[in-house]
Amino acid sequence: MKNVYVAMSADFIHSAHLGVLEKAKELGDVTVGVLSEKAIVTYKRLPLLSVEERVKIASNLKDVSHVVIQEDVNPTELLRELKPDYVVHGHDWVQG
């Protein structure tokens, strides 16, 4: 089974997030990297929920196998550690 990595803030889950996770699950076991507050504030506002709450939400999504905390907006070091076969980003699944 292949390993798939998807990063998300998981502050507000909507249908597009669920669609990305469904597509990612087709590729293999999905690990979600929930961005820490430190990572999120580098590109948008503070999240509404704590990282612990967001990890709990992501952990309970049906297409998610594992959850880790992504401490930096740049996932390079975490990806080197996890060594996923695929990295999926929401915009990769936009079809037109």
Per-residue pLDDT of 10-52, as tens digits, reads 888 888 899 999 999 999 999 999 999 999 988 888 889 999 9
CA dihedral (69, 71, 75, 76) in degrees, to 10, reads: -120
How large is the average pLDDT for residues 3-13? 92
Six token digits for residue 19 = 């669609």
Q: Which of 17, 2, 95, 94 is nearest to 63 (CA)?
A: 17
pTM: 0.89
Q: Which of 44, 43, 59 is nearest to 10 (CA)?
A: 59
